[in-house]
């Protein structure tokens, strides 16, 4: 059994819904989960023995949602040492825009810069496609859980 902490950046609720669906999948496999919709650096540092799952939508011109911008600012200003942190990252966006999934890429770069290790390929989900984000994420998560 593992512990998973979700850090969610969501403007209209799609990323939060996706995180809840992913948490349900993990709980059904006997893992523990917690979802942070106002994530802070302290949430990482308090519980070092866990996987972090970043789930973030992009809005505007590649902007992070308001609820996760403070986390990015804390990461930039505090520069915490995250070498022991393993994470996976899921972005939601619309490929019609030049800034498709830019928010998750920004977070991913900052976590990597601080020494964290992304342990799976970055998942970017195009919400304009037919397949629902939950189905895409479930398949990706199943693959990662099987091969980690």
Instruction: Give the integer Cα–Cα distance in Å for 116 and 7.
Output: 14
Residue 46 confidence (pLDDT): 65
CA–CA gap between residue 105 and residue 42 (Å, rounded): 22
| Answer CATH for 3-142 from 3.40.50.360, 3.10.20.30, 3.40.50.970, 1.10.10.10 | 3.40.50.360
* Helix (H) / strand (E) containing 118: strand 117-118
Residue 148 has a pLDDT of: 83
Regions of the chain short of the pLDDT cut 70: 46-48
pLDDT at 75: 97
What is the residue-wise DSSP string for 28-88? HTT-EEEEESS--HHHHHH--SSEEEEEEE-BTTTBPPTTTHHHHHHHHHH----TT-EEE
Burial 17-52 (b: 16+ CB within 10 A, else e): bbbbbbbebbeeeebebebbbebebebbeeeeebbb
Summarize pLDDT for 56-70 with one digit per residue, the tens. 999 888 999 999 999
Under 8 Å between Cβ of 58 and 92:
yes
- CA–CA distances in Å: residue 82 to residues 44, 99, 105: 9, 27, 17
Query: Residue ranges of the domains in the chain?
Result: 3-142
pLDDT of residue 89: 98
Please report the pLDDT score of residue 105 as a whole number.
Answer: 98
Residue 109, Cβ neighbours under 10 Å: how many?
A: 10
Q: Helices 102-113 and 69-78: crossing angle, nearest 10°? A: 20
CA 121/CA 44 separation, integer angstroms:
21
């Amino acid at each position: 059994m593992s512990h998973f902490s979700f850090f969610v950046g969501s403007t209209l609720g799609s990323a939060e819904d996706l995180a809840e669906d992913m948490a349900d999948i993990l709980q059904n496999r006997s893992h523990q989960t917690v979802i942070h919709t106002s994530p802070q650096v302290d949430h990482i540092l308090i519980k070092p023995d866990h996987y972090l799952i970043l789930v973030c939508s992009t809005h505007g011109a590649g902007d992070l949602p308001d609820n996760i911008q403070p986390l990015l600012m804390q990461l930039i200003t505090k520069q915490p040492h995250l070498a022991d942190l393993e994470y996976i990252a899921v972005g939601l966006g619309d490929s019609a825009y030049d800034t498709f999934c830019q928010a998750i890429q920004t977070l991913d770069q900052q976590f990597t810069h601080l020494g964290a290790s992304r342990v799976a390929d970055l998942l970017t989900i195009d919400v304009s496609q037919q397949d629902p984000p939950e189905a895409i994420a479930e398949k990706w998560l199943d693959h990662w859980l099987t091969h980690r």
